Amino acid sequence: MSNTDSYQAWLQYRPIGTKKEEYKKWLTAIEVNEESQILESAAAELKKGIHSMLGVTLVPDNSAEGHIILGTYEQMDLKQYGISPEVFRDVTDEGYVLKSVFEKEERAVLLIGKTDRGALYAAFHLLRLLQKEVPIDSLEVVESPRNQFRMINQWDNMDGSIERGYAGQSIFYVDNDFNEDLTRVKDYARLLASVGINAISINNVNVWDVETKLVTKAFLPKVKAVSAIFAAYGIRSFLSINFASPMELGGLGTADPLSPEVEKWWKDKVAEIYEYIPDFGGFIVKADSEGRPGPFTYDRGHVEGANVLAKALKPFEGKVIWRCFVYNHLQDWRDRSTDRARAAYDHFKPLDGKFLENVILQIKNGPMDFQVREPVSPLLGAMKQTNQMLEFQIAQEYTGQQIDVCYLIPQWKEVLDFDTYTKGEGSTIKSIVDGTLHGYQYSGIAAVSNIGDDGNWTGHTLAQANLYGYGRLIWNPERTTEEITKDWIHLTFGYDPDVVDAVEYILLHSWKVYEKYTAPLGIGWMVNPNHHYGPNVDGYEYSKWGTYHFADRDGIGVDRTVETGTGYSSQYEEPNAKVYDSLELCPDELLLFFHHVPYSHRLKSGETVIQHIYTTHFEGVEEVETFIAKWNGIEGKVDNAVFENVKQRLKKQRDNAIEWRDQVNTYFYRKSGIPDQQNRTIHP
Q: How far apart are CA 559 and CA 257, in angstroms?
A: 38
Tell me which of 74, 93, 346, 369 is the catalytic residue.
369
Q: How far apart are the first and last CA of the chain?
A: 46
Pair type for strands 177-178 and 140-143:
unpaired
Question: Are the CB atoms for 591 and 523 separated by under 8 Å?
Answer: no
For residue 236, the SS3 value is strand
Rounded to 10 degrees, the C-alpha dihedral 128/130/133/135 comes to 110
Query: What are the DSSP E strand ranges found in 539-635?
Result: 555-556, 597-598
Residue 93 annotated as catalytic: no
Q: How far apart are CA 408 and CA 395, in angstroms?
A: 10
> Among 678, 664, 682, 681, which Cα is nearest to 556's?
664
- Per 3-state DSSP, what percentage of the chain is helix, strand, and coil (rounded to 5)? 40, 15, 45
Instruction: Look at the alpha carbons of 481, 487, 491, 493 in this order and tell me if their dihedral is positive or negative.
Output: positive
Tell me which of 256, 288, 397, 487 is the catalytic residue.
397
Tell me which of 290, 419, 504, 541 is the catalytic residue.
290
Give the CA distances from residue 514 to residues 467, 621, 633, in Å, rounded to whole numbers and listed in that order: 19, 9, 22
Give the CA distances from residue 291 to residues 98, 327, 400, 542, 558, in Å, rounded to whole numbers and listed in that order: 50, 10, 26, 12, 26
Residue 638, burial from CB neighbour count under 10 angstroms (0-12, 13-18, 19+): buried
Residues 6+ apart with CB under 8 A from 190: 11, 41, 45, 233
Q: How far apart are CA 123 and CA 111, in angstroms?
A: 6
Question: Are the CB atoms for 199 and 152 separated by under 8 Å?
Answer: yes
> Among 62, 149, 73, 150, which Cα is nearest to 118's?
73
Question: Are the CB atoms for 551 and 652 separated by under 8 Å?
Answer: no
Residue 65 annotated as catalytic: no
Residue 290 annotated as catalytic: yes
Q: Taking each helix axis from N to C terminus, what angle separates 220-231 and 183-194, rounded to the nearest 10 degrees?
A: 40
Question: Are the CB atoms for 540 and 559 separated by under 8 Å?
Answer: no
575: preceding bond cis by omega (within 30 degrees): yes
For residue 183, the SS3 value is helix
Query: What are the DSSP E strand ranges found in 426-518?
Result: 444-448
> Among 343, 254, 252, which Cα is nearest to 297's?
254
Give the CA distances from residue 89 to residues 75, 93, 198, 240, 442, in Å, rounded to whole numbers and listed in that order: 15, 10, 21, 35, 20
CB atoms within 10 A of CB 228: 14
Q: How far apart are CA 401 and CA 364, in angstroms?
A: 18
Residues 6+ apart with CB under 8 A from 77: none
Among all residues, which ones are annotated catalytic? 290, 369, 397
